[in-house]
């Protein structure tokens, strides 16, 4: 007959087996040896069938309490293994809150974008429309419409890139070498817009527009980039004169550079699409650039042939046009001496304009 001490030793050995189980699976295997179907406690229960009623009572109670002790030990070990598991997981997923955070710096506009926005605001305040146009242009718009026909020597001033697609005229499209083609495009759109009113006897309203945008040339050094930015201006009407160009351009420069201390000079030049033509230079009276003449734009009275190509009568309509280098204006305003800095995308440079 099994004694109480035997039950005690079964409980002891169960406790030991449970303690040695290192994983939940091992623990469940150990448990099977004691309280499973063929476990030692289960076997003892089965063996009770042969006992008398009295013996069954005492024996049953003893086996039961041994079973309870084993189950308590099992639960305790289950808990301990679960705690250990959790501990490992927590350690693995630990966050070191003492690590410095990652800074998310605010973004900002590119200096050339800031410059273009500034140009737009100033001209808009002077009653100019602001628009943009296609960068892939037809030969006619980029050159011929601007009084610069095929084989004209002036074409070499604006050597650009060509696209592998021909226009209706059989000549390949180009990446526009200047924003000037928008003069003719805008004039056409303007005439169309007001056609009904003109038919009804009204006169065509003045054209006042600026067109900023990307332009392209086969050129690359510290002051030239194959892609650069220009801003075209056109002012055309029945009662516009060179004086008006001088006034608005002077006003523009003073506002743009926030200085009344600057002088403008119109230096005779040549462009096929203007006659007469002038380069516009500015000179600051003070500051780091004081005393130097700085070229900021080409300009002139729109050539009669160009006015004709716009669909207007050059005897009635006189226009003034100008083309500024937007990158150049940005360089002058911010004191940047290498154009390439604008297009390298170095955040240490760009951050300064935020
Ligand atoms: N398109 C010229 C260039 O890129 C600049 C220019 C000169 C524009 C005179 C004009 C103008 O509108 O009247 O060099």
For residue 159, what is the domain's CATH number?
A: 3.30.930.10
State which of 92, 121, 152 marks the end of a domain: 92
Cis status of the peptide bond prior to 276, with omega within 30 of 0: yes
* One domain for residues 211 and 309: yes
Give per-residue pLDDT as tens, 21-72: 999 999 999 999 999 998 999 988 888 888 889 888 998 999 999 999 999 9
The answer to whether residue 304 sits within a structural domain is yes
178 within ligand 1 shell (Cβ under 6 A):
yes
The answer to whether residue 78 sits within a structural domain is yes
Per the CB < 8 A criterion, the answer to whether 139 and 172 are in contact is yes
* One domain for residues 10 and 54: yes
pLDDT of 1: 52
Ligand 1: which of 160, 178, 244 to mutate, judged by most atoms within 8 Å of the beta carbon? 178
**In b/e form, how buried is each residue of 240-252, taking b as 16+ CB within 10 angstroms?**
beeeebbebbbeb
* Maximum pairwise Cα distance, the chain: 135
The answer to whether residue 99 sits within a structural domain is no
The answer to whether residue 101 sits within a structural domain is no
Give per-residue pLDDT as tens, 171-188: 999 999 999 999 999 999
* One domain for residues 212 and 302: yes
Q: Which atom of ligand 1 is nearest to the CA of 178?
A: 4
| Gap from CA of 200 to ligand 1 centroid (Å) | 35
Classify the phi-psi angles of 95: left when phi > 0, otherwise alpha if psi is within -120 to 50, otherwise beta: beta
* One domain for residues 85 and 120: no
* One domain for residues 39 and 153: no
Q: Which of 85, 68, 3 is nearest to 34 (CA)?
A: 68
299 within ligand 1 shell (Cβ under 6 A):
yes
Give per-residue pLDDT as tens, 296-331: 999 999 999 999 999 999 999 999 999 999 999 999
The predicted model gives 140-159 an average pLDDT of 90
Does the pTM of the predicted model rise above 0.75?
Answer: no
Give per-residue pLDDT as tens, 205-226: 999 999 999 999 998 888 889 9
Structural domains in the chain (count)? 2
State which of 92, 124, 152 marks the end of a domain: 92
* One domain for residues 168 and 290: yes
Q: Which of 115, 100, 171 is nearest to 138 (CA)?
A: 171
133 within ligand 1 shell (Cβ under 6 A):
no
Q: How far is CA 270 from the centre of its chain?
A: 39
| Gap from CA of 344 to ligand 1 centroid (Å) | 27
* One domain for residues 15 and 134: no
* One domain for residues 72 and 129: no
Among protein residues, the one with the nearest Cα to ligand 1's atom 7 is 298
180 within ligand 1 shell (Cβ under 6 A):
yes
* One domain for residues 28 and 132: no
The answer to whether residue 62 sits within a structural domain is yes
Residue 276 has pLDDT above 90, yes or no: yes
Q: Which tokens go with 174?
A: 């180009």
145 within ligand 1 shell (Cβ under 6 A):
no
The answer to whether residue 102 sits within a structural domain is no
* One domain for residues 45 and 75: yes
pLDDT of 4: 54
The answer to whether residue 104 sits within a structural domain is no
State which of 31, 58, 92 marks the end of a domain: 92
The answer to whether residue 98 sits within a structural domain is no
* One domain for residues 288 and 169: yes
Q: Which of 177, 214, 248 is nearest to 343 (CA)?
A: 214
Helical pair 24-35 and 4-20, crossing angle rounded to 10 deg: 160
- Domain encompassing residue 190: 111-353
* One domain for residues 125 and 231: yes
């Amino acid at each position: 007959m099994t004694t109480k001490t035997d039950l005690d030793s079964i409980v002891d050995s169960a406790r030991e087996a449970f303690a040695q189980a290192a994983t939940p699976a091992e623990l469940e295997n150990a448990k099977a040896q004691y309280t499973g179907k063929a476990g030692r406690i289960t076997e003892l229960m089965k063996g009770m069938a042969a006992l008398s009623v009295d013996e069954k009572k005492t024996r049953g109670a003893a086996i039961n309490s041994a079973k309870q002790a084993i189950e308590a030990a099992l639960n305790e070990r289950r808990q301990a293994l679960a705690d250990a598991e959790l501990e490992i997981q927590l350690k693995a997923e630990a966050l070191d809150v003492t690590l410095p955070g990652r800074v998310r710096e605010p973004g900002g506009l590119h200096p050339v974008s800031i410059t273009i926005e500034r140009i737009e605001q100033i001209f808009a305040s002077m009653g100019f429309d602001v628009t943009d146009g296609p960068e892939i242009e037809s030969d006619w718009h980029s050159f011929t419409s601007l009084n610069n026909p095929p084989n004209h020597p002036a074409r070499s001033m604006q050597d650009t890139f060509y696209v592998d697609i021909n226009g209706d005229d059989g000549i390949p499209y180009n990446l526009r070498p200047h924003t000037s083609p928008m003069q003719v495009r805008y004039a056409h759109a303007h005439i169309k817009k007001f056609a009904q009113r003109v038919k009804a006897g009204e006169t065509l309203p003045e054209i006042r527009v600026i067109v900023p945008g990307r332009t392209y040339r086969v050129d690359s050094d510290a002051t030239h980039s194959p892609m650069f930015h220009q801003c075209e201006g056109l002012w055309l009407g029945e009662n516009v004169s060179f004086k008006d160009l001088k006034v608005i351009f002077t006003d523009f420069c003073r506002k743009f550079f926030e200085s009344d201390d600057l002088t403008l000079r119109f230096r005779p030049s040549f462009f096929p699409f203007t006659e007469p033509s002038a380069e516009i230079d500015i000179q600051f009276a003070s500051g780091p650039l004081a005393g130097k003449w700085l070229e900021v734009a080409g300009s002139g009275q729109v050539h009669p042939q160009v006015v004709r190509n716009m669909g207007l009568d050059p005897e009635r309509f006189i226009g003034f046009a100008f083309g500024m280098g937007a990158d150049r204006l940005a360089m002058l305003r911010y004191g940047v001496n290498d154009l390439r800095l604008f297009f390298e995308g170095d955040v240490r440079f760009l951050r300064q304009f935020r």
